Chains A and B, each alone.
Chain A
Amino acid sequence: MSDTSTVSQDSAAATHAAPGRIDFQTDPSRYRHWRVEHDGPVAQVFMDVDEKGGLFPGYELKLNSYDLGVDIELNDIVQRMRFEHPEVRAVVMRSGKERVFCAGANIRMLGGASHVHKVNFCKFTNETRNAYEAAAEESGQTWIAAVQGSCAGGGYELALACNHIVLTDDSTSSVSLPEIPLLAVLPGTGGLTRVTDKRRVRRDLADVFCTMEEGVKGRRARDWGLVDEVVPNSRFDEAVAERARAIADASSRAAPRKGIALTPLERQFNEDGSVGYSLVEVTLDRAARRATILLKGPEAAPPADMAALEAEGARFYLLRLARELDDAILHLRLNETELGLIVLRSQGDGAAVLAHEALLLQNAEHWLANEILHYWKRVMKRLDVTARSLVAVIEHGSCFAGPLAEILWAADRSYMMEDEFEGDNRPVAAIRLSPGNFGRYPMANGLTRLQTRFLGVPEAVEAAEEQLGTPLEAEAAREMGLITFAHDDIDWEDELRIFLEERASFSPDALTGMEANLRFAGPETMETRIFGRLTAWQNWIFQRPNAVGTEGSLQRYGTGRRGEFDMRRV
C-alpha cells in the first residue's frame, strides 16, 4: 500500500502457483512474522513481517504487509493467548518495525492471487479479526493497537478490530483506508463496517476518510473517532504501557495464573487426500466433488472436575474435537477448493457428548470451560460462513447431541435415518438437545441456530427446549423441524445419492450465493454486515475488470500506470 514494494518483472501478472498444502497449524517456535512478549497481565504482540517469508513466490512482504501466512500466525497467537495465557488481560498489538505499523494486505500478493484464494484469504483474516475483537467480552482479554508510523488499509483494519487504538502524535503517523483511491477495491477486512458500526464515525466523515489516500493523523483522527487517544511521541511507550496496565486492572474477571498447552494436533495427511485426526476423519470423493467429515464421540467419561479438566488440557474431548474440526474446515477451504459439498457425519455416544458439554456448562464461569465453549461457538461460525454446500447426515450410531447438534442447523439441509436398517446393529439414529443449544453458541446474527431456523415460529424453539436430553429419533425430529428429511432403509441410499449428485451439478457460484443468503436469516449485526454486505461487494469488485482486469488497478499497482476504468456505474 505504499512505496517501495518491489516489482518483480516476471511475476506481475502471473497467478501464483500453488505452493503445496497451506497449513493452518503453527506454534511460536515457527513464527516468522510475529513475536510475543509477556509481562504478567500484559502481553505485547509485535508485528515484524519477514519480507522474504511470503507464502507464495513473486512478492516480498515489505513494510509489514501481510499475506495468509502472516495471518495464520496471528490466528495462532490469538488462540494461544486465550488458552495458554489466560493470565493476560491486555494485549498490545504494535509494530516491530520503525515508521510503519502495517501497510495492509500485500498488493502484489492480491494482484497475483486467484479469485478463490483472495476470497478465502479475506474470510480467514476476517475470522481472525473477529476472534481477538471478541476476546475482551468473552475472556476479559482486551486488545489494544499501539500505532506508530503509517497504518494503512488492512493495517488500520488490524487496529480497528482491537478495542482501543492509541496513535502517536508525531505529525507524520496516520491511519488510513486508501483502498479506493489507490487500488479500486474496498477495505474488506471489516474496515468500512467497523468505521461506522463500531467506531461510529459519522458517515460523511467516513466517506471523506475512505477516499483519502493519505489518511488522518493526530488530533483529527481522535476527533473523528478513528482512534481513541492521541499521545505525544516522546511518551508513547509510557502511555501505551499505562493504558494497557489500566485496562488490565479494570478487568473484573479473576485471572487464572496458568493456562493449558495447545499441543500439536494428532494429524495425518494421506496420499488420497484424506486426513486423519484423533476424532475427525476427512475423506474425499473427488469425482463426486465431495468431502466427508466424520466426527467421533468421546472415548471416555468426562473429567470429574475443573482441576481434572485442566489436567486433561488439550486432550479434553470437546477442545480436541474443536481444534481438529477447525483445522479440517480450513484445510478444505484453502486446499480443496473443488470439493463443493461437505457431508458432515458423526459416530459415537450422544449421551457422552452431552456429559462432556454438561461439565462445561455447569462450570461456565471457570476460565477453561468458558474458553472451550466460546471456541466451539467460533468453530460453528466458521462452518456457517464456509462457502460449500453443507449436508448433515444423521446415521444410526451417530452422536449429534448438544454442541454437535449445532452442526445440523449450520448445514444447509440434513438427512436422518429412520427406523432400523437391515444388517445395521448400531443404535437407532437420535438427536439430543442440551441447554447449550439455547444460547451458548450464537450465530453471527446474535441468535441461536434454532432461533434463526424458527425465525417465525418462536414456539418451535420453546417446544424443543422442553426435550432437553431426550433422544429424538427421526419421526420426532422431523415433527419438531430439527431435520430436513428422514428416510428409511428403502429410500435412504437413493435419496441421498440423488440429492448429492444433483447438488454437485449446480453452479458453485449460484449455490454459494444462495446458501449465504439462506443461512443468515434475521437481524443484521456488525458481523453479518462484514461477512454479508462488505464481503459480497468486495468479492464482486474482485471480479470486475476495474480492479482485476489486465488494465485494472490491482494489476497496474506498482507499475506506475493507473488502472483504466469502465466508467459506467453498475
Chain B
Amino acid sequence: MLDLINVSYDTQIPNNVGLSSDKRVLKALEKWHPGYINWWNDLIPDNFQKSLVYLRTAVSVDPKGWAKFDYVKMPEYRWGVLLAPAVEDRRIPCGEHAGEPAWQEVPGEYRAMLRRLIVIQGDTEPASVEQQRFLALSAPSLYDMRNLFQVNVEEGRHLWAMVYLLHKYFGADGREEADDLLRRSSGSEEAPRMLGAFNEETPDWLSFFMFTYFTDRDGKMQLEALAQSGFDPLSRTCRFMLTEEAHHMFVGETGVGRTIQRTCEAMNEAGIEDPHDVDAIRALGVIDLPTIQKKLNLHYTLSLDLFGQEVSTNAANAFNAGIKGRYMEHRLEDDHKLTDATYPVWDFVEGKLIRHEVPALTAINMRLRDDYTRDAAGGVGRWNKIIEKTGIRFEMKLPHESFNRKIGVFANKLFDPEGKLLTGAEYDAGINHWLPTKADGDFIQSLMKPVYEPGQFAGWIAPPKVGIDNKPGDFEYVKLYMA
C-alpha cells in the first residue's frame, strides 16, 4: 500500500507520491535531475559543496515530525517531492466552481492559467538561490551559513515541487517549461528570471535577512493563496512548502533582530544615546538603526511590487476559476465567489491618494497585499521590542505602500515614506534618508567578513538565543571543507 505520510526512498527521488509506480513521471524527473545537479554545482562555490552542513531533511509530511537533522553535503541532499496529505472529499474553495469536488487532474479549460502560475512560482525558487550564491563567503558565523544553506536547499526542493507538477500534469509543454526553469538565471542578460525583484543581487547579509523576511514573505503569501487552489495537487504541494517557508521567515526575522540587538548593545556599551549619530555608531563596527530602516524601506517596497497591479484581470480570472484563492480562504466567511462584493483599493485621483471600492474579484492582488502588510508588520513590532528593551529611542516602521513603487497605481510617482506626494526637488532632498545609498552599501559591505570559527559571530550581529535543533552555542553547524 502506498505510504502517503512517510517518504519513500525507493527511487532516486524521495517522494510521497508513489513515484516508483509512476514510471512516466519518474522517467521525466530522472531526465531532468542531472540538469538540476549541474545547475546546483555550477552555482554554489566548490568548497561549500564539499562541506558537511547540518541540515534538516524532510522525511515525512506528518506535521508532528517531518524532518530529521544530520550532516550532509549539499549536492547529496535528498531533494524530494512531497505533498501534504490529501484532505478527504476536498472541495474547490472559491470562484464559480466553489463547492464542486477539487480537481485531481488539470481541467483543460484552465490548463494555460495553471501552468503559468506554476511556472511563475517555480521561477522564483531557484532565483533566490542564484541571488544568494556568494553569501557564504562572508557568513557572519557557521550558524548563519547553515541557515543560508538550509534556505537554499529548500528553495531547491520547492523548485522540485513545481517541476513535479509540470512533469506530472502538463505533458511535453510542462517538461519544456521545467527545462526553461533551469535555463533562466537571475540577473542574466540571456534569459533573466521572470520577476524583476528576482534579478537583483543579494549583496550582503543584511540584504539576505531583509530578503528572507520581506520577499520570502511574498512567497509565503503566494503559496498560501495557491494552497487554496481547487487543483488539489497544487494545493497539497504548496501546503507542504509552507511548513518549510516558515523557517525562511524565521531566518529573516531573527537575522534582522540580531543585527538590531547588536547595534543597540554596542551603542549602550559606548554610551551613545542618539541613534542618528551615524558616524559614531558605525565606528563601533555595527550597522546604525537608520540604515537598517532604509534597508527595510527598500526590501518592503520591492516586495510589494511582487503583488502586481492592485486591480488585475489575471488575478480575478485565477480566483474565479478556483485555481488560486485568498489568504486563509477556508476561514473567510462570505460566498467565496465575490459576485457582488467590493474591496477598497488605492487610487490616485487628482493628486490625492484615495481608497475606493472596486469589484472584489478584480482586487484579489490588493487584498493579498493587505494581508501581507499585516503579516509583515508583526516582525517589525518585535524588532521594536528589542530596541525598547535596550533603552534606545528609535522605532522601525513600514513605509507607506506608495513609497518607492515601480508597479501599480503608485508606480513612478514621488512619495515619501509617510505617503506624502512630493515634488522632484523634495524627493531628491529626502531620498538619501529613505533608501540605502551606495555609501551605506559600501559600509555594510565593509563589515561582511567571514567568521568560520564555531560559536563565533561577526561583530555586527548578536548570537541567536537558541541553536538550531537545540544545539549548543559552539556547535559546528558547517564542517568546512578545506582544500
Contact = CB atoms under 8 A, between A and B. Distances in A.
Nearest to B193: A172
A558 interface: yes
B311 interface: yes
A234 B189 contact: yes
A14 interface: no
B170 to A, nearest CB: 11
A214 B112 contact: yes
A233 interface: yes
A172 B123 CA distance: 11
Contacts, number: 79
Interface in B277-309: 308-309
B309 A3 contact: yes
Nearest to A233: B190
Contacts of A181: 112
A3 B191 contact: no
Interface string B177-201: 0001001100001111010000000
A214 B115 contact: yes
Contacts of A4: 308-309, 312-314
Interface in A1-27: 2-7, 9
Interface string A219-250: 00000000000001110000000000000000
- Chain A CB within 10 A, most for which of B112, B113, B314: B112
A397 to B, nearest CB: 58
Interface residues of A, number: 24
Contact of A3 (B190, B194, B314, B338): B314
B361 A3 contact: no
A560 interface: yes
Contact of A6 (B112, B309, B361): B309
A5 B408 CA distance: 10
Contacts of B338: 560
Contacts of B128: none
B316 interface: yes
B359 A7 contact: yes
Contacts of B192: 170, 172, 233
Contacts of A234: 189-190
Given A4-B309, A4-B312, A560-B319, A233 B362 contact: no
A363 interface: no
- Chain A CB within 10 A, most for which of B96, B358, B362: B362
Contacts of A558: 313, 316, 362
B317 interface: yes
Interface string A492-526: 00000000000000000000000000000000000
B362 A171 contact: no
Nearest to A169: B191
Contact of B112 (A212, A233, A557): A212
Interface string B160-190: 0000000000000000000010011000011
A91 B79 CA distance: 50
A7 B189 contact: no
Interface in B316-339: 316-317, 319-321, 338-339
A8 to B, nearest CB: 9
B183 A560 contact: no
A412 interface: no
A7 to B, nearest CB: 5
Contact of B320 (A2, A171, A233, A561): A561
Given A9-B359, A558-B316, A560-B320, A214 B116 contact: yes
Interface in B70-123: 96, 112-113, 115-116
A233 B316 contact: no
A267 interface: no
A96 to B, nearest CB: 15
B316 A559 contact: yes
A6 B311 contact: yes
A560 B190 contact: no
Task: Describe B's contact surface by its main secondary structure.
Answer: helix
A562 interface: yes
A169 B192 CA distance: 11
A138 interface: no
Interface in A154-213: 169-172, 181, 212-213
A561 B309 contact: no
B312 A3 contact: yes
B93 to A, nearest CB: 15
A64 to B, nearest CB: 15
A521 to B, nearest CB: 42
A347 to B, nearest CB: 53
A561 B317 CA distance: 6
Interface in B334-387: 338-339, 357-359, 361-362, 364
A453 to B, nearest CB: 49
Task: Describe A's contact surface by its main secondary structure.
Answer: loop
B309 A9 contact: no
- Chain A CB within 10 A, most for which of B116, B189, B313: B313
A233 B199 CA distance: 15
A267 B184 CA distance: 55
B157 to A, nearest CB: 22
A171 B308 contact: no
Interface string A468-509: 000000000000000000000000000000000000000000
A154 B187 CA distance: 30
A6 B184 CA distance: 29
A559 B180 CA distance: 31
A467 B406 CA distance: 69
Given A4-B308, A7-B359, A7-B362, A170 B316 contact: no
B320 A562 contact: yes
Contacts of B116: 214
Nearest to A232: B190
A171 B314 CA distance: 21
Contact of A560 (B112, B308, B313): B313
Contacts of A6: 309, 311
B189 A5 contact: no
A570 to B, nearest CB: 21
Contacts of B112: 181, 212-214
Interface in A530-570: 557-562
A561 B190 CA distance: 37
B183 A171 contact: yes
A171 B184 contact: yes
A550 to B, nearest CB: 14
B317 A560 contact: yes
A181 B308 CA distance: 23
Contacts of A169: 191
Nearest to A12: B359
Given A4-B313, A559-B316, A562-B320, A170 B191 contact: yes
A169 B190 CA distance: 8
A233 B194 contact: no
Contacts of A5: 313
- Chain B CB within 10 A, most for which of A4, A557, A559, A560: A560
Contact of A171 (B180, B309, B316, B317): B180
B359 A233 contact: no
Contacts of B316: 558-561
B194 A172 contact: yes
Nearest to A211: B112
A2 B184 CA distance: 22
B313 A557 contact: yes
Given A4-B312, A232-B190, A562-B317, 8 more contacts: A3-B308, A7-B362, A212-B112, A214-B112, A559-B359, A559-B362, A560-B315, A562-B321
13 contacts: A4-B312, A4-B313, A4-B314, A7-B313, A7-B362, A169-B191, A170-B184, A170-B191, A172-B191, A181-B112, A233-B191, A558-B313, A558-B362
Which A-B residue pairs are the 9 nearest by beta carbons? A560-B316, A560-B361, A3-B314, A213-B112, A4-B309, A560-B320, A171-B180, A171-B191, A234-B189
Interface of A: 2-7, 9, 169-172, 181, 212-214, 232-234, 557-562
Interface of B: 96, 112-113, 115-116, 180, 183-184, 189-192, 194, 308-309, 311-317, 319-321, 338-339, 357-359, 361-362, 364
